Amino acid sequence: MEKMKSKSEWVDFKDIKEKVNMEDVLHHYALLKDLKKKGR
């Protein structure tokens, strides 16, 4: 069984959410083309 990684190796999801745009994620996975932009 693999040992638990140190806390410094964990993914900081709060930091990722602040830096990555959801539109870019959807585009990366080719999901954006089927959606319509609404609102802001």
Mind listing the pLDDT tens digit for each residue in 1-40? 667 667 677 889 999 999 999 999 999 999 988 888 888 7
Distance CA 29, CA 32 (A): 8
The DSSP annotation for 1-40 comes to -PPPPPGGGS--HHHHHHHS-HHHHHHHTT-GGG------
Long-range contacts of 30-36 (CB under 8 A, 24+ apart): none
Which pLDDT does position 2 carry in this prediction? 67
Q: Are 22 and 13 in contact (CB under 8 A)?
A: no
pTM of the model: 0.51
Which pLDDT does position 24 carry in this prediction? 92
Which pLDDT does position 33 carry in this prediction? 85
